[in-house]
Amino acid sequence: MLKKRIIPVLLLKDKRMVKGKKFKDFKDTGEPKTAVRIYSAQDADELVFLDIDNNSSSLGNLIEIVKQASEECFMPLAAGGGISDINQARELLKAGADKIVVNTSCVKNPSLIKEISEEFGEQCVIGSIDYKISNNLREVWIKSGKLNTNLDPLEHAKNLIKLGAGEILLNSIDRDGMMEGYDLEYADKVSKEINVPLIVCGGAGNYMHLADLLNNTSISAAACASLFHFGDNNPIRARSYLKNLDIPMRMLK
């Protein structure tokens, strides 16, 4: 039986790890290398690295961090942030990434998804969608939440899957860093309407929030950052909490 995944997200800025609220007010949360080592020891199911500087020199930093991570831990690694051409994807894969997270280019240059999936397979591309609610409408924002595209997140997701995305990462900007729970109903609706695994991000503040997201839904994975950065929480405890609620979790030994 396939288990539900819990995926720590590492946001990277100037070679450091940061975490903000609603994509703003970033606080330093430590050294990525140390975090990778800890998450590896805690048997996280997978790691996602997102570079939020989005410039040419920061890509070099991201590659370096992924390279170190792949020497350190033997779990799936996804990486992205400002990926705009296939060579950057190739570099990241060569450094040890298994999956490439594409966000802004999904809108600006959707054929990139097609290119990466044709060369490296659909399992290699995570279509990442950040959205915000305004006037009761959910709309896709790009450029780290700075530019509204007016696109509908669900329609956008379906389009990315058509182009070759093997997974969708759905992130609520309104809930980011707030630790008040996921955008449950919407995440469930999106998951029901798409045929690839859905990773949901934005809002986890305690283990119950993870359970609410994963219990009795077809959602594949809960991604979280603040939950593990702030407070005495970790993937081991999260897993045992969810296991007690009969949510299928990975068996390690």
Say how far apart CA 228 and CA 245 lie, in whole Å. 20
Torsion region of 15: left, alpha or beta (phi above 0 gives left; psi -120 to 50 gives alpha): left
Helix, strand, coil share of the chain (percent; to 5): 40, 30, 35
Among the listed residues 15, 16, 64, 76, the single contact to other proteins using CB under 8 A? 76
Q: Does 193 bind other proteins (CB under 8 A)?
A: no
Q: Does 49 bind other proteins (CB under 8 A)?
A: no
Say how far apart CA 138 and CA 120 lie, in whole Å. 32
Sequence length of the chain is: 253
Torsion region of 14: left, alpha or beta (phi above 0 gives left; psi -120 to 50 gives alpha): left
End-to-end CA distance of the chain: 16
Q: Does 223 bind other proteins (CB under 8 A)?
A: no
Q: Does 239 bind other proteins (CB under 8 A)?
A: no
Catalogue the E-assigned strands of 110-182: 125-134, 137-142, 147-151, 167-172
How far apart are CB 222 and other proteins at their closest, in Å? 12
Which of 31-39, 54-62, 122-130, 175-183 is the region at the interface with other proteins (rule: CB under 8 A)? 122-130
Q: Does 253 bind other proteins (CB under 8 A)?
A: yes
Q: Does 1 bind other proteins (CB under 8 A)?
A: yes
Contact in structure between 215 and 182 (CB atoms under 8 Å): no
- The residues, ordered by sequence, that sit 6+ positions from 24 with a Cβ below 8 Å of its Cβ are none
Among the listed residues 26, 64, 70, 152, the single contact to other proteins using CB under 8 A? 70
- Give the pairing type, strands 16-21 and 24-30: antiparallel
Among the listed residues 12, 50, 83, 93, the single contact to other proteins using CB under 8 A? 93
Which of 51-59, 146-154, 192-200, 230-238 is the region at the interface with other proteins (rule: CB under 8 A)? 192-200
C-alpha closest to that of 131 among 79, 189, 211: 189
How far apart are CB 202 and other proteins at their closest, in Å? 20
Task: Output 244-247 pairs: Cβ under 8 A, ≥24 positions apart.
Answer: 245/211, 245/215, 247/4, 247/211, 247/214, 247/215
Q: Does 64 bind other proteins (CB under 8 A)?
A: no
* Residue nearer to other proteins on the CB measure, 124 or 154: 124
Q: Does 124 bind other proteins (CB under 8 A)?
A: yes
* Residue nearer to other proteins on the CB measure, 53 or 64: 64
Among the listed residues 10, 36, 45, 183, the single contact to other proteins using CB under 8 A? 45
How far apart are CB 123 and other proteins at their closest, in Å? 4
The footprint of other proteins (CB under 8 A) covers 1-5, 40, 43, 45, 67, 70-71, 73-76, 93-98, 118-124, 166-167, 192, 194-198, 218, 220-221, 250-253
